[in-house]
Structures are given as structure tokens and as C-alpha cells.
Amino acid sequence: MTKRENANLYDTDKVERRIKGWKNNSNSIVHKVIDKLIISGGKYSKEKLVEFIKNNCNVTNPGLTISHLKTDAGNSYGNALIERDGFILLHPDKARLINTVWKSKQ
């Protein structure tokens, strides 16, 4: 196995663990946001999501929360979302895994 293949396996495992952690913590901001996106078919307007976070997640800066879900940099939540044309969507590289984990009974 090459170094790159090994790194990709580690990253995939890390992403899966992170997603499972979000799913299992129903009080977390990330769980609530991803749950909202899944319920709405994986796409939600940014404006409505900001309002949802403001009303349901007790955060002072909902826009920053969304930004932290769109990157893996620093202390972010992880690259779980993307933004397109004013809509927030599950990241295409992670949407299948997120949906699978969310539907599991674990």
C-alpha cells in the first residue's frame, strides 16, 4: 500500500468516525444542521438555515457555524457542507456516507 493510499484510508476512517459522532449527539449543532438538511432533501437555503441555527442552536453567529461546516481547516467541524447559488448542501463527497450513517440505528 502506498503512502497516499494509507493516508486516504485514514482520512476516510476519520470522516466516518466524525459523522457517527455527530449522529450520536442529537444535542450538537452539527447534528441539528445535518438533520435539517437530510429532512429537507439535502438542500436548504442559506438564509433559512441561518435562521434555523439562530432559533435552535443557541449560537451568536450562525453564519460562522455554517462556515465551520464547509472546511477542514483549524478548529472547524469538518468539510460536511458546500454552498451553491444561495443554498447549503451536503458535501457531495460525504453525502452518501452521511445519509447511510443517519439512517443506521447505531
CA 96, chain centre distance (Å): 12
CB atoms closer than 10 angstroms to residue 65: 20
Banded pLDDT at 72 (limits 50, 70, 90): confident
Sequence ranges of the domains in the chain: 3-103
Pick the CATH number of 3-103 from 1.10.10, 2.40.128, 2.60.40, 1.10.150: 1.10.10
Beta strands in 1-106 (DSSP E): 43-45, 81-84, 87-90
CA distance 36 to 7: 31
pLDDT tens, residue by residue, 12-25? 777 888 889 999 99
CA 11, chain centre distance (Å): 15
Q: What is the DSSP letter of 105?
A: -
User: pTM (2 decimals)?
Assistant: 0.81
